[in-house]
Amino acid sequence: MTGPRGRQRPTWLLRVSDQRVRRQEIYPRHEFSDGEAMLAAGLAGCGIMQMPTWLVAEDIRQGRLIPLLPDWAGGEMPIHAVWPQSRYLQPKVRAVIEMLTILSERPGSGFVP
């Protein structure tokens, strides 16, 4: 299973032990534009998937999902929080930024500082 890739052949990024990243073409039977829908399909046994650690960690801990390539890591994809420059940062925006920071610093979150 994979997310939509348009006209490009879908690939998974795999990092080997020496930290080189390899791009592996895959031939999916299912494409999803929503990570939670892909996770639900994986939990239902519809195929294998490459998902962010933070999204599947609890399902792995509970035994609902099984890592297939434990010696390989997914390629890192940076996440950026972006907001308009302003003298006044709205409390709800500040709260989201603070929560993202807290979640990213938790052990086992899958986020790399």
d(CA 8, CA 10): 6
pTM of the model: 0.65
3-state secondary structure of 94: helix
Arithmetic mean of pLDDT, 95-112:
79
| 8-state DSSP, 107 | T
pLDDT tens-digit profile of 9-40? 888 888 877 778 888 888 888 888 888 999 99
Residues 6+ apart with CB under 8 A from 87: none
Predicted local confidence at residue 108, as pLDDT: 67
